[in-house]
């Protein structure tokens, strides 16, 4: 197994849209079976599928931290003290080791069911924010969605558009089959399910789905009307309110204003100064 093998498999996983993490040993002190630069690929089930970052006394800890990195969608640096039972290492091996864990996640998908100015603006914003954009609607013209990855105009049974936990679905069908799209998005456990409609129309659709037997806990996942209350009036502003809501959901935003009182600003500034100092010290070392 070589570094080239690791990169080749990483490329295969990425092409398949499979989430995984790359673990790289960046520092070793004392006794360790792994060497600096050793790499491994860990899938989203915590399985080490290729590579080597040490034996059983380190591998289980790195696999566990890789799952945490994937869940948080953030890289991690893990320090393993192989002389003590820390991070689940479980047996003394001697030495210390630092491992950099980088999550590699497929692009989130923005699924837009519908056409029109709101849908067109959503597609532009989604592309700008790094989403893979799919537009599905009989009235959708590819020329109106130049930045979409897929524009599907003929999908009468909705089979050409899979939905999964990485999908953010916005239904903008102008009341044409919106209940079918909601059912599909809920069945696929989409990360976000939103309906662009008035309060009255949204209530009618949700009541209809309830009468069809969809559980209340699933119906509670529907955001209708879609978006945050920005006081939006134009199609572009409505699209912005929806994408803002999606970003807040993905990133764990509080939706609170970023402005703080003087004491909080001072504390935040001190914290940022410490972080900058630490970074500069790290780079200079």
Q: What is the pLDDT of residue 267?
A: 57
Q: Are residues 57 and 40 in the same domain?
A: yes
In a domain, 151, yes or no: yes
pLDDT at 175 over 90: no
Task: Specify the pTM.
Answer: 0.74
Domain count within the chain? 2
Same domain, 26 and 115: no
Reported confidence tier of residue 59, pLDDT bands at 50, 70, 90: confident
Domain span holding position 162? 109-251
* The last residue of a domain, from among 74, 104, 134: 104
The average confidence (pLDDT) of the chain is 85
The pLDDT score that the predictor gives to residue 88 is 44
The predicted model gives 130-153 an average pLDDT of 94
Q: How confident is the model at residue 190 (pLDDT cuts 50, 70, 90)?
A: very high
Query: What would the mean pLDDT of 64-93 be, rounded to a whole number?
Result: 76
267 in a domain, yes or no? no
Domain final residue pick, 44, 71, 104 = 104
If asked whether residues 34 and 151 sit together in one domain, one would say: no
Per the CB < 8 A criterion, the answer to whether 104 and 110 are in contact is: no
Q: pLDDT tens-digit profile of 81-98?
A: 866 554 445 445 567 889
**Per-residue pLDDT at 80:** 85
Q: Is residue 256 part of a domain?
A: no
**How confident is the model over 248-277, as pLDDT tens digits?**
999 888 888 887 655 555 555 555 555 445
Q: Please tell me whether residues 196 and 79 are part of one structural domain.
A: no
CATH of the domain at 155: 3.40.50.720
Lowest-pLDDT choice from 11-25, 35-49, 190-204, 261-275: 261-275
Q: Is residue 283 part of a domain?
A: no
DSSP letter string, the chain? --HHHHHHHHHHHHHTT--EEEEEEEEEESS-SS-TT-EEEEETTS-EEEE-S-SHHHHHHHHHHHHHHHHHT--EEEEEETTS--TT--S---SEEEEEEEEE-PPPEEEEEE-SHHHHHHHHHHHHTTPEEEEE-TT--GGG-TT-SEEE---TTSTTS---TTEEEEEESTTSSHHHHHHHHHHTT-SEEEE-S-HHHHHHHHHHHHHTT--HHHHTTEESS-S--S---SHHHHHHHHHHHHHHHHHT-----S---HHHHHHHHHHHHHHHHHHHHHHH-
260 located within any domain: no
pLDDT for the residue 54 = 77
One domain, residues 151 and 245: yes
Among 26-35, 41-50, 214-223, which stretch is predicted with the lowest mean pLDDT? 26-35
65 plus 199 within the same structural domain: no
In a domain, 196, yes or no: yes
Distance (Å, whole) CA 107 – CA 100: 22
Whether 122 and 176 map to the same domain: the answer is: yes
Query: What tens digit of pLDDT does each residue of 195-238 get?
Result: 999 899 899 999 999 999 999 999 999 999 999 999 999 999 99
Residue 176 lies in a domain: yes
């Amino acid at each position: 197994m070589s570094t080239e093998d690791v990169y080749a498999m990483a490329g295969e996983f990425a092409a398949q849209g499979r989430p995984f993490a790359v673990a790289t040993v960046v520092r070793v002190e004392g006794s360790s079976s792994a060497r600096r630069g050793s790499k491994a690929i860990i899938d989203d089930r915590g399985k080490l599928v290729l590579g080597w970052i040490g034996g059983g006394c380190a591998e289980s800890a790195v696999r566990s931290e890789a799952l945490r990195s994937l869940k948080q969608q953030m890289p991690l640096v893990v320090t393993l003290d192989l002389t003590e039972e820390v991070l689940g290492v479980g047996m003394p091996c001697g030495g210390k080791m630092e491992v950099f864990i980088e999550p590699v996640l497929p692009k989130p998908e923005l699924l837009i069911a519908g056409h029109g100015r709101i849908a067109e603006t959503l597609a532009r914003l989604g592309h700008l924010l790094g989403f893979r954009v799919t537009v599905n609607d009989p009235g959708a013209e590819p020329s109106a969605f130049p930045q979409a990855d897929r524009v599907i105009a003929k999908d009468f049974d909705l089979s050409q558009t899979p939905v999964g936990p990485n999908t953010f679905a916005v239904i903008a069908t102008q009341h044409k089959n919106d209940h079918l799209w909601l059912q599909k998005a809920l069945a696929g456990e989409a990360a976000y399910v939103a309906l662009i409609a008035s309060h009255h129309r949204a209530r009618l659709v949700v009541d209809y789905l309830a009468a069809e037997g969809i559980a209340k806990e699933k119906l509670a996942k529907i955001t209708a009307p879609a978006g945050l209350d920005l006081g939006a009036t134009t199609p572009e502003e409505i699209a912005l309110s929806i994408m803002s809501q999606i970003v807040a959901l993905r990133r764990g935003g509080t939706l609170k204003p970023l402005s703080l009182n003087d004491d909080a600003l001072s504390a935040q500034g001190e914290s940022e100064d410490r972080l900058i100092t630490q970074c500069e010290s790290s780079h200079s070392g």
